Amino acid sequence: MKYSGAIGVFDSGVGGLSVLQHIRRLLPDERLIYIADSAHVPYGDKSPEYILQRAQILTRFLVEQGADAIVIACNTATAAAVACLRNQFSVPIVGMEPAVKPAVAATKTGVVGVLATIGTLESARFAALLERYGEEVEIVTQGCPGLVEQVESGELSSDRTRKLIENYTSPLLERGADTLILGCTHYPFLSPLIREVVGNNVVIVDTGEAVARQLQRRIKSELPVREAQLAIAQHECKENAHTKFFTSAEPAKAKSIMSVLWGESIQVNLLPNEFL
């Protein structure tokens, strides 16, 4: 029996690699397929209808490539598309949302700051999170135009990136926030710089690890036959696990930045024309 399943992961760009890293660590034997939709980045300033259309296109590609579980490694795309994708596709679909619950548990001042895209902050899903936890603590939000683009261009520690982080975090710190939620999957790649700017007394929360654990739970509970097939395939072929990378933008440029973020040199393929 040869196993052909895979986990498909997509994001508006390279930021979802932060989630993919957690998935690879937790599920090292899995085949992974990643799409950086960088020709359409950022999603945060696009309409919900546009984002949904891209999410449907990318999910269809991943399913055609053999993915039997999907991770939307993008808070904005989750808000715009996860409900429709779950109705449209029969595979388990795991989305993102800002980690408000652990942040509420972590704060000592009772003030939690959220760094996110405008699209995430304006979504109904985020409004529901605020309603659920807003009575327990004060949640202060900050849209961060430009940060996604800085990560996409590989400017993880430039003066411009530092200035943007200073501008976006200072209002939150002034309000008393001692806990910051990274509400976009691009932002964990800026964690070292954010830490330099805000200091060591602020808790920084990102959701990549929790998403990987939720994916693992969904696979075990909803795809038991797949689990058995994977075990047999790994017994037959120790080299079964691998990761394929795709982009909707220029592959050579994507390879440069994605290799840095992934931590090793990788091959990045251009999506077929019908999925661009």
Catalytic residues: 74, 184
Q: Enter the tokens of residue 240.
A: 């079964």
Q: Enter the tokens of residue 167.
A: 């501008």
Q: Are 54 and 276 in contact (CB under 8 A)?
A: no
Q: Enter the tokens of residue 274.
A: 């019908």
* Distance separating alpha carbons of residues 147 and 153, to the nearest angstrom: 10
Q: Are 14 and 186 in contact (CB under 8 A)?
A: yes
Q: Is the peptide bond before 42 cis (omega within 30 degrees of 0)?
A: yes
Count of all residues that appear for the chain in the document: 276
* Distance separating alpha carbons of residues 120 and 101, to the nearest angstrom: 16
Three-class SS state of 145: coil
Please report, as a single letter, which amino acid is at residue 78.
Answer: T
| Residue 244 β-bridge partners | 33
In 160-253, DSSP assigns E strands to: 179-182, 203-205, 243-247
Three-class SS state of 243: strand
Q: What is the residue-wise DSSP string for 53-97?
A: HHHHHHHHHHHHTTEEEEEE--HHHHHHHHHHHHHH--S-EE---
